[in-house]
Amino acid sequence: MRKKTLRQIFKYIKANTVLLVISLLCAFISVAGTLYIPILIGQGVDLCLGTGQVDFAAIGQLLFIGVIVIAVTMVAQFIMNLCNNRMTANVVAGMRKDAIRKLQRLPIRYIDNKSYGELVNRIIADVDTFSEGLLLGFSQLFTGILTILGTLGFMLVIDFKITLIVVLVTPLSFFVAGFVSKKTFSLFTKQSSTRGEQTAFIEEMVGNQKIVRAFGKEADAMERFDQINEKLQKVSVKAIFFSSLTNPATRFINALVYAAVGVFGALIVMDTEAAITVGELSCFLSYANQYTKPFNEISGVIAEFQNALACAENFFKFLNEEDEKDAVCVDSLAKIGQKEEQNKKAGADKAAAGAETSQALSNGAKLIGDVTIRNVSFSYVPERKLIEDFNLHVKQGQRVAIVGPTGCGKTTLINLLMRFYDINAGDIILDGVPIDEQSRHDLRDSYGMVLQETWLKNGTIRENIAFGKPDATMEEIIEAAKKAHAHSFITRMPKGYDTEILEDGGNLSNGQKQLLCIARIMLMNPPILILDEATSSIDTRTEMKVQDAFATLMKGKTSFIVAHRLSTIQSADMILVMKDGNVIEQGTHAELLKEKGFYYELYQSQWA
C-alpha cells in the first residue's frame, strides 16, 4: 500500500520537475560549501601551531575565502528553501484540486454513506499534515543525504582507518530509525482516522446546535466528544512517544561515533609518524559530527514523514474510489445487447429513430419528457428490498404527484430518475432511450429540481439565482425572482441582488431560501420538473402565489411532485400512491377519493 502511495506522491512532484532540479542543485552547492569550511578551519589550525610561527597573512586569506563560501552557501540555502516551499504549495494545491474534482465524480451512494466531516478531513486536515511532512522531506532529506555522502568522501581522503570506525557504527542509526518508523506508521494511521471522526462530530454539533440545545442534549454531546477526544489523545500520545524516541536514540549513537573518532584520532596524532596533523584531526572531528548530524535530522523526518504518509494514504484511498459511471452502466451492457437485437428484429426504421434520439441527447438536446419505468427494482442495501417490479408511463406534459408514508420510496424514485443511483433491474426510458445509455450530464441538464432541503452557495443573491444559467441577464434574473415572488424581499435586502449570502443562507429565513431555489428553477425553465416538497417552508399566502407560478411553469412540461400536503396536488394529472416501494393506487384526485382506499384515508386524516 505504501509503495502505491509513494508512486502517487511522485506523480505530483514530477509536475514540479524544474523546481526540484533547482532545489537539488542548490542543495548540492549548500552542502559543498558547508563541507569546505572544515577544511579551511583545519588549515587554519595547522597555521597556528608553534610559538612565533603563526602565519597571519595566510590565515587572513582563509578568512576571506571562508566569508565568500558562507555567503554562497546562505544564498543557495535561501533559494533551495524557496523552491521547496513553492513545490510543496503546488503539490498541495494539485491534490486539493484533484480531490474536489473527485468529489464531483463520486457516486452519490458513496457520499451518502460517509460523514461530511470525514470527507472534509481527508481534503483539508490530511493534506495539511502531509504538506508539513513533505516540506520537511524536501528541506532536510536532500541535504542530509548529500551531507552524509560528502563527509564520507572527505573522511576517506583524510584517513581510511578512522572512517571505517564511523561507517561500522552507522547501521545502528538505521536500525533504530527503521524500528521506530514501523511502530509509528500504524499509530499515525489510526490517529488520522480518529481525527476524521472528531472533525465529523464537531461539524455535526456546529451545524445542529439549535437541535442539541432544544432537546437538552448538551451533556450527551460533551460525553460523546470526550470519548472521541480521549481516544484521539491516547493514540496521539503513543504516536508522539514512539516518534520522539528516534532523535535521542540516534543522538546517543552519534555521540559514541564522535567519541570513538576523538580517541582513535588522538592516538594516531600522538604517534611520531602520524599520518594526519592536528588540523586534519580537527577537520575530521568536524566531519564526523556533520556525518552523524543528518542521521538525527533524517530520523526526525522519517518519524514526521510516517504521519504524513499515513495521511496521504487516507487521502489517496478517497482519490482512488471508483468514479460514477457516466454513460453506460456496466450492469446494463447485457441488456443493451439484447435491446440491439430486438431493435434489429423490430425493423430498420425504429432502430434508426432510436439512434437519432440517442445521438441528439448525447449532443446536448433537451428532453421532451416522455417517461417509461418498466419492471424496475432497486434497494439501497441488497438484503433490504425497497422498490420491486415498478411500472409507470408518464406522457409529455403530464403532472404526476407522488404521495405516501415516509420511507415508501418517493424520494428514491426521484433519485433513480436523476440517476443519482442506478437501478438494480428493469429500465427507465426517457424519450425512447434508456437513461443508462445517456450521459448523466445531459440527462440532468434537462431536469429542474427543487428540494425540501434548500442549498445556496456562498455568493450574491444574483449568483445563486443564476446558478443553473450563469449567462443570464439581470432582466431575466429579476423576472424569475418576480415569478417566484422573491423580488420584494430581495429589494429590501441591504444591497438588493448583490447582497452576499452567508454560508448555507445563514442570513435568510427558510422560506426566503426556498423562494430563491424556486427562482433558480424559474430562470432555467427546464423541460422536466421535480418538486420535492418545494413549498414546505413558505407561508400559506405566498405558497398560493408560488403554486400559480408553478402551474404556469409546468405547462407543457413533465412534472414530478412529491408532496405530503395533499391540498397542493389536487390538480395533478396523475397521483401515484406509494407504499413499501410499490404503487398501490393510481388516478386523479377525484378518482382516488371515490375509491375510498389508502389515498382517501390519507386525505381524510389531514382534514380531520
Cβ proximity of 194 and 228 under 8 Å: yes
Tell me the per-residue pLDDT of 506-560, one tens digit each, with 9 for 90 and over: 678 777 888 888 888 888 888 888 888 766 666 777 777 777 777 777 877 888 8
pLDDT band at 2, cuts 50/70/90? low
CB atoms within 10 A of CB 355: 12
Domains (range + CATH), the chain: 2-319 (1.20.1560.10)
- The 3-state secondary structure of 597-608 reads CHHHHHHHHHHC
Residue 508 exposed, middle or buried by CB count within 10 Å (0-12, 13-18, 19+) = buried
How far apart CA 355 and CA 353 sit, in angstroms, is 5
Answer whether residue 175 shows pLDDT above 80. Answer: no
Q: What are the CA-CA distances from residue 84 to residues 17, 24, 79, 136 (Å)?
A: 11, 10, 9, 9
Output 136 or 478, whichever has higher pLDDT: 478
Contact by Cβ (8 Å): 358, 438: yes
pLDDT greater than 80 at residue 478 = yes
* Mean pLDDT (the chain, rounded): 78
Tell the residue number behind the cell numbers 381524510, with chain if given: 604
pLDDT at 405 over 70: yes
- Beta strand pairing status for 574-579 and 582-587? antiparallel
Q: What is the mean predicted confidence (pLDDT) over 312-332?
A: 70
pLDDT cut 70: percent of the chain above it? 83
Is 419's pLDDT higher than 80?
A: yes
Quickly list H helices, 320-374.
Answer: 333-346, 348-362
- The mean pLDDT value for 84-110 works out to 86
Which comes out higher in pLDDT, residue 266 or 66? 66
pLDDT score of 347 = 43
Taking a C-beta distance cutoff of 8 angstroms, is the pair 59, 127 a contact? Answer: no
Stated pTM of the model = 0.62
Nine cell digits for residue 271: 604517534
The cell numbers describing 324, all together, are 460514477
DSSP output for 5-64: HHHHHHHHHHTTHHHHHHHHHHHHHHHHHHHHHHHHHHHHHHHH-STT---HHHHHHHHH
CA neighbor of 458 nearest in space, from 467, 449, 470: 467
For 125, the grid coordinates are 486536515
**341-379 pLDDT tens trace:** 444 444 444 344 444 444 444 444 555 778 888 888 888
Phi then psi dihedrals of residue 407, to 5 deg: 85, 10
For residue 425, pLDDT beyond 60: yes
Q: pLDDT tens-digit profile of 26-61?
A: 888 888 888 888 778 777 777 776 555 667 788 788
Give the side-chain half-sphere CA count within 13 A for 335. Answer: 16
Query: Residue 304's closest CA among 198, 148, 180?
Result: 180
Higher pLDDT, 183 or 353: 183
Instruction: State the virtual CA torsion across 201, 379, 418, 332 in degrees, nearest 10.
Output: 130
Are 310 and 185 in contact by the 8 Å Cβ rule? The answer is yes
Kindly tell me if the per-residue pLDDT of 75 is higher than 90. yes
Q: Is 280 a residue whose pLDDT tops 80?
A: no
Report the pLDDT averaged over residues 194-198. Answer: 82
Handedness of CA 244, 245, 247, 248 (dihedral sign): positive
Residue 102 reports pLDDT greater than 80: yes
